[in-house]
Amino acid sequence: MNRLTIIRAAALALALVLAAALPTAASAVTPAGVPPEQLVGCTPELLDRLTGLPVPPIDPTGTVQPTQEQRDVLAGLPPIPLADLPPGLNVLTCNIVGHTVSYGVTSATVPLLAGASITISELETGWESVEVETLGSGEIVARHEEDEEAEEDADLGTLGSSDGCSQRSWSVAAFRVRSEFAYYQNINGRGSGLTEDEARTGLKSGFDIILTNANDCNRPDFMTLTARRLGDTGYLPGYGDGRNVIGFRDLENNVKGRAYLTVANGALTEGDIAINGTDYRWVNTITSTCGVSRHLASTMAHEVGHLYGLRHSDDYDNALTMYSKSSPCRTHKATLGYGDMVGLDWAY
């Protein structure tokens, strides 16, 4: 056991003791039903927000989960701006588990107290993210990253799919997908470019590309992971609701797609992907009349890359699937480049 592990174990043990000391009886509760010991660390603004809302359980082992009803109510609230969270906020004394925290247009759900867990949200265009981590001690650590050079579109000229075979940059996050990824599809809100079946096929294609290492570089497939469709759902992607949902929804008007990733102890525990079906027209095949349509498989491959832990490539490697920008009518992200494959190879 290394030193970090010992510290983490000690913190978790402390959290267990603290949680055990919390009253379970209904005595002396506020109108919100929150034991006062869970509110002493809140700011007045946070106290106002919590009044009358469901109170998710705080369980250091992570085995007691919020109910679906609680998740749905909390997911529908306006987010708490990251700047409104006081430093050192601890969910044992200010229970904001299940609430959404935002930075700019990006948001993440405060995870259960389960050792260490992280939620990441990230844009397809213009790197911006917020990460919210609940430590074993109950303390919340939130941070954001932003790419100042974010642009709406990239002018990718005559770039071809094989150009990525010579581009080598890659970056991998600290989590992995540990088992078969089973997901629902939401094909509502897909816009005018796709039939229902085409939408299902296009959403699935990103998984096929990543998991078969589809490429024009004569590089063999090496991944053994699988993904499985469970069927259609009406639930929207982007909520920490315990289901993996891949589908369409409205996003900010310069955002094509976004991956919402919930991570605990180094493993992905929930992965949602949202495709902006409101501001963009999506197609599965690019033709001479493409206009401003977008290739769904290309954007899906990028987002599924995030789901499996890939981060953006360097900004000069514009032919890679994990390049942060995209443009209309282009299909090159639907075949992996060298850096994309080395990143996956390293992670899996």
- Binding positions for Zn ion, rule: CB under 5 A: 124
Burial class (CB in 10 A: 0-12, 13-18, 19+), 232: middle
Query: Whose Cβ is closer to Zn ion: residue 90's or residue 129's?
Result: 129
Closest to 264 measured CA to CA, from 164, 137, 134, 160: 134
Query: Across 171-330, where does the E strand assignment appear?
Result: 181-186, 227-232, 245-249, 257-264, 267-276, 282-283, 294-295
Tell me the one-letter amino acid at 1: M
Residue 17 beta carbon to Zn ion: minimum distance, rounded to whole angstroms: 41
* H helix intervals, the chain: 3-21, 44-50, 68-75, 196-211, 296-307, 338-347
Residue 268 beta carbon to Zn ion: minimum distance, rounded to whole angstroms: 16
N- to C-terminal Cα separation, the chain: 24
Closest to 209 measured CA to CA, from 131, 299, 143, 275: 299
Residue 305 beta carbon to Zn ion: minimum distance, rounded to whole angstroms: 8
3 state DSSP class of 83: helix
Query: Whose Cβ is closer to Zn ion: residue 91's or residue 181's?
Result: 181
Beta-bridge partners for 231: 184
Q: Which residue is nearest to Zn ion (CB)?
A: 124
Query: Whose Cβ is closer to Zn ion: residue 122's or residue 270's?
Result: 122
Residue 261 beta carbon to Zn ion: minimum distance, rounded to whole angstroms: 11
Query: Whose Cβ is closer to Zn ion: residue 124's or residue 133's?
Result: 124
Query: Whose Cβ is closer to Zn ion: residue 124's or residue 272's?
Result: 124
Query: Whose Cβ is closer to Zn ion: residue 200's or residue 312's?
Result: 312
Residue 314 beta carbon to Zn ion: minimum distance, rounded to whole angstroms: 13
Query: Whose Cβ is closer to Zn ion: residue 323's or residue 338's?
Result: 323
Q: How far apart are CA 337 and CA 218, in angstroms?
A: 11
Q: How far apart are CA 212 and CA 56, in angstroms?
A: 40
Measured over the CA atoms of residue 231, residue 235, residue 236 and residue 239, the dihedral's sign is negative
Residue 3 beta carbon to Zn ion: minimum distance, rounded to whole angstroms: 34
Residue 237 beta carbon to Zn ion: minimum distance, rounded to whole angstroms: 15
